[in-house]
Amino acid sequence: MDKYIYADNAATTKLDMEAFEEMKLYLLNEYGNASQPYSFSRNVKKALLHSRKIIAKGINAEPDEIYFTSGGTESDNWAIKGVESTNAQKFIITSQIEHKAIIKACEDLEVIGNKVVYLPVNNFGEIDDNELVKAIARDTSLVSIMYANNEIGTIQPIKELAAITHKNGAVFHTDAVQAIGHVNIDVKELDVDLLSASAHKFNGPKGIGFLYVKKGTNISSFISGGSQEFGLRAGTENIASIVGMAIALKNNLEHLEENIKHVQYLENILIEELKSANIDFIRNGTNALPGNISLSFKGMSGEILLHRLDLMGVLVSTGSACDSVNTQISHVIKAINCDKEYAEGTIRISLSKNNTLEDVKFIVNSLIKIIKNIKSA
Ligand code: PLP
C-alpha cells in the first residue's frame, strides 16, 4: 500500500494497530459466545461490557444506550424503520443530501404508505431551520438529519434541529457516521434521541457500528431472534470487532484536537496551492468536517481526474464511495445546485491523521499537472 497516497478516508480508514492486536486475542483465544454461562465466556462478557462503556463515554451516553449493529447502514435503517413502525402513517422528515442508507430506508417506507419530506439545502449544503419549522407543522413522528455530509463535509446545526423536533413532539435521529471520532460529539449536549455510527470510518474494523438510543425512546427491534443487545438487536455479538471499535474510538478521541489541527493544516495548504496555481475550482460545502474536501473543477470530469490520480498513485473519490457505481452527478452535488460547468468535475479528497505534508504536496502537484495537461490537450 506504500506506493499509494490514500486520500479517501471518508470511504474508509486504516485499522488502528492496537485495535487489530486486541482483536486477534478475541478471534483466536477468547472466542467464546458472550451469552454462555461457563467460565470460558467470562472474559468475553467482560470485554463486551467494557467496550460498551468506552463507546458510551466517547459520546457522553450511558452504556445501556449503546446498541451494537453491523455498521452505519444497519443503524440508519433501524433508526428510520424502528421508529416508524411504532408510529404508522405519520410524516418522516429528512434531507435531500442524506446518505443512501437513509434515503432508501425512507423510500421503502413510502412504498408502504408513509409520507416523507426531503428538506432542501442551500448552495453550501446547509439546512435552514425555518424549512424544518414549516415541514414539522404536519403530524411528524421522526426527523433524521445527518451530522456531517459524506460528500461535501457540511456540518448541520444538529442541536437546533433537535430542539425544533422535540418542541413538536417528534423523535430526532442523526447519522453521525462521518463525524464520530473526528469531531467532539456529546449526545446529551446535542439532545438527540438516536445516533448512527460505523467503526471503519474512525479506524475501527468494517462490518461493525452502533446505534445510540436515548433511554425512553420508542423504537422496535430491527433484527428478531435471541435476547442480545437488550432484546432489540438479536444475533451473537461480534466481540472482536466490538473490542476493535472501542479501542479505535478511544484512541481517536484521545488525540482529537491534535488530529483536527493536523488535518486542517494540510487542508489549508492544499487549497492555497491550488489557488496559487490559478486552477479554476469551487470548494463545495461549508463548516466542513476536518479533512473532507469536495472540489469541483471547471470543465473537468471527476471520473477522469480520479483515474489519472490513481495512475499517479493518489486515491480519491468522485463523491460517495458507497455509490461509486453510479457515475452521474451525485444527488448531493445536484441538491447544492453546483454550477453545471463545475459539477461534473467534482472529486472528494478526504485526509486523515495519517496523511503527511509530503502526501498533500504530491496530491496537489499531481492534480495541477493533470488539469493543465487536460486543458492543453
Ligand atoms: N452514513 C454515512 C453518512 C456514510 O458516509 C456511510 C458510508 O459511507 C454510511 C452511512 C453507511 O455506513 P456503512 O457503509 O458502514 O454501512
Per-residue pLDDT tens digits for 173-220: 999 999 999 999 999 999 999 999 999 999 999 999 999 999 999 999
- Dihedral angle at the C-alpha atoms of 100, 203, 359, 302, nearest 10 degrees? -10
Q: How many angstroms does the Cα of residue 175 sit away from the middle of ligand 1?
A: 8
Assess whether the C-beta atom of 155 lies below 6 angstroms from ligand 1.
no
Does the pLDDT of residue 320 top 60, yes or no?
A: no
Give 317 Cα–ligand 1 centroid separation in angstroms: 15
pLDDT, tens digit, for every residue of 256-309?
Answer: 999 999 999 999 999 999 999 999 999 999 999 999 999 999 999 999 999 999
CB-based contacts of 123, cutoff 8 Å, min separation 6 = 336, 337, 338
* DSSP 8-state symbol, 71: S
pTM of structure: 0.96
Nearest CA residue ID for atom 9, ligand 1: 72
DSSP, residue by residue, 187-226: HHHHT-SEEEEEGGGGTS-TT-EEEEE-TT-----SB-SS
Task: Output the pLDDT for position 321.
Answer: 43
Confirm if 227 and 234 have CB atoms less than 8 A apart.
Answer: yes
Q: What pLDDT is recorded for position 322?
A: 44
How far does the centroid of ligand 1 lie from the alpha carbon of residue 184, in Å? 19
pLDDT value at 65 more than 70: yes
* Residue 2 clears pLDDT 70, i.e. is over it: no
> Cα separation of 8 and 277, whole Å?
23
Q: What is the pLDDT of residue 268?
A: 98
List % helix, strand, coil for the chain (3-state, nearest 5).
Answer: 45, 15, 40
Q: Is 251 in the pocket of ligand 1 (CB under 6 A)?
A: no
Half-sphere exposure of 25 (CA within 13 A, CB side): 10
Q: Using CA atoms, how far apart are residues 62 and 55, in angstroms rounded to an integer? A: 9
pLDDT over 70 percentage in the chain: 97
Cβ neighbours of residue 40 closer than 8 Å, sequence gap 6 or more? 32
Catalytic (active-site) positions = 322
Strands, sheet with 292-297, edge to edge from the N-terminal-most edge strand = 281-284, 292-297, 346-350
Q: Ligand 1: which of 173, 178, 185 to mutate, most ligand atoms within 8 Å of CB? A: 178
Q: Which atom of ligand 1 is nearest to the CA of 199?
A: 15
For the segment 39-56, the average pLDDT, to the nearest whole number, is 97
Nearest to 338 by CA among 156, 154, 144: 154
Cα(248) to ligand 1 centroid in Å equals 17
Asked if residue 323 has pLDDT above 60, the reply is no
Mean pLDDT of the chain: 95
